Amino acid sequence: MFLYPYVGKHLNNIIKINMETVKIGNQEWLTENLNVDHFNNGDEIEQIESAEDWLMHLKEKKPAWCYYENDASNGKKYGKLYNWYAINDPRGIAPKGYHIPSDTEWTELTDYLDGVPANPNDVIGSGTIAGPKMKNDSGWNNSENGTNDSGFSALPAGKRSGFDGNFANIGETGYWWSSTEDYKTKAYGRILLPNTHYGIKEGRIYKETEFKESGFSVRCLRD
């Protein structure tokens, strides 16, 4: 693991942040979820709390973030949840020298940890080896921890629904955006499941397309 200094703007102040990273294959990932509330040019990203405001605000396709259940203590552990419009904004939210990973870059990560190329037609098989390697060895409910052999240190931050604005699955499931659009209303992300999901032994990480209005975690990749 490596530590890199980052100098960023926040309310006209210069803040030096030490960011821990991990090298996985040919990629270098931050080991924590993003937790910023300003774009790189200093503009504020709007925080939205109520479900009604979340949905109304997003009809205009505006960037937004929230804490899970609007509890700032969740932000300290899990980072913030962002809609896709925030991560796709040209003002940028990734620290200098980093970017939001594309769908292809997420696949490179999970393929490397799986040891074999993922089969897009295999519902259960893809990501079943990578998932436990990416899960942190603490912080998951009901003994759902992984080995964290990869050093990725994934935590189950849950999500905010883009359908009804409700929160779900903290402690059980992790959700992360990619920068890749699926079509007009959706974009690709990754979901890291519990070890047992609907009675099936899983613990896998898999590719999913989600409404852009959803609130997901963000993990950054070095340029």
pLDDT, tens digit, for every residue of 76-133? 999 999 999 999 999 999 999 999 999 999 999 998 888 765 555 444 345 778 999 9
Q: Per the domain annotation, does 87 fall within a domain?
A: yes
* CA proximity to 36, closest of 90, 84, 75, 89: 75
Task: For 48-62, write each residue's pLDDT tens digit.
Answer: 999 999 988 777 889
Domain containing 59: what range? 33-222
Task: For 152-183, write each residue's pLDDT tens digit.
Answer: 999 999 999 988 999 999 999 999 999 999 98
Q: Per the domain annotation, does 19 fall within a domain?
A: no
Q: State the pLDDT at residue 125.
A: 40
Q: Per the domain annotation, does 167 fall within a domain?
A: yes
Q: Per the domain annotation, does 152 fall within a domain?
A: yes
Q: Per the domain annotation, does 107 fall within a domain?
A: yes
Q: Per the domain annotation, does 173 fall within a domain?
A: yes
Q: How many domains does the chain have?
A: 1
Spell out the residues 6+ positions from residue 199 whose beta carbon is closer than 8 angstroms to its own. none
Q: Per the domain annotation, does 5 fall within a domain?
A: no
d(Cα 43, Cα 56) in Å, to the nearest integer?
Answer: 21
Q: Per the domain annotation, does 16 fall within a domain?
A: no
> Global pTM?
0.86
